[in-house]
Amino acid sequence: MSEVETKPAVLILLGPPGAGKGTQARMLEERFGLVQLSTGDMLRAAVAAGTPAGLAAKAVMEAGGLVSDEIVLGILRERLAAPDLKAGVILDGFPRTAGQAEALDKLLAYNGQRVTAAISLEVDDEAMIARVAGRYTCAACGEGYHDQFKLPAVAGTCDKCGGTEFKRRADDNAETARARLEAYHAQTAPLIAHYGRLGVLETIDAMDSIDAVASGLGSIVQRVSA
């Protein structure tokens, strides 16, 4: 009997800055063996490495705007072609414009795939400023923390890798966070309707605790992957 070929899941996490996309994507990675692809992380790596894409993106990111579709798609296409994505991917922070959504649909169709689910993390704008302003990460492994909502079990030591160095993002201040929220509402929120029309939209109340949101997302992932 021939085996039925299953296509890797393609999950999109949609939501404004601070909604919990990165936090939840990492939890889904561990639970389901999916791979988190964060365009924000890829762009920050390009900035740190001083690549041409990074040099072009730096000022835009510092101002809280959106990097051009051309740069983002160039970086993502390369990563999507890597061979470690068999179980599927969680797209964190991509797509963010109509052009990126269209390019993704085309890219997947070319490989006989489609978006499995686009999950919109629904949150309150003002609370997002506090979430972003209190965020920090482990410098060694990237595990995310928050001054108020997610502290390491032992103060000053990363729960995941034992690292003792932490860092904060240059764009995590109230002023830039507001610019990022504006960019989200103007250019990314309209994608919610796009995925509604495609019949793959899911929504979740992301004002709940990190664990409660993770549990709800886990149920969605199990249902859409069945």
The residue sitting closest to ligand AP5, measured at its beta carbon, is 40
SS3 content of the chain, % helix, strand, coil (to 5): 45, 15, 35
Residue 11 touching ligand AP5 (CB under 6 A)? no
Q: How far is residue 126's CA from residue 172's CA, in Å, rounded to a whole number?
A: 14
CB of 181 to ligand AP5, least distance (A): 8
Active site residue 223: no
Q: Which of 44, 58, 131, 180 is catalytic?
A: 180
Active site residue 31: no
Instruction: Name which position in 32, 180, 194, 200 contacts ligand AP5 (CB under 6 A).
Output: 180
Residue 135 touching ligand AP5 (CB under 6 A)? yes
Q: Write the DSSP string, 111-128.
A: TT---SEEEEEE--HHHH
By the 8 A CB rule, do 42 and 142 touch? no
Q: How far is residue 32's CA from residue 10's CA, in Å, rounded to a whole number?
A: 13
Cα dihedral 28, 30, 34, 38 sign: positive
Q: Which stretch binds ligand AP5 (CB under 6 A): 78-86, 107-115, 141-149, 194-202?
A: 141-149
What are φ and ψ of residue 98, in 5° steps?
A: -60, -40
- Of residues 188, 216, 184, the one with CA closest to residue 202: 216
Tell me if the bond preceding 95 is cis, omega within 30° of 0: yes
Q: Which of 21, 26, 44, 131 is catalytic?
A: 21
Active site residue 114: no
Residue 163 touching ligand AP5 (CB under 6 A)? no
CB of 5 to ligand AP5, least distance (A): 30
| Cα separations in angstroms, 147 against 21, 76, 123, 158 | 18, 31, 19, 13
The residue count for binding ligand AP5 (CB under 6 A) is 36
Active site residue 44: no
Residue 160 touching ligand AP5 (CB under 6 A)? no
Return the active site residues: 21, 96, 135, 169, 180
Q: Where does this chain bind ligand AP5 (CB under 6 A)?
A: 15, 17-23, 39-40, 43, 60-61, 64-67, 72, 93-94, 96, 100, 131-132, 134-135, 144-146, 149-150, 180, 206, 209-210, 213
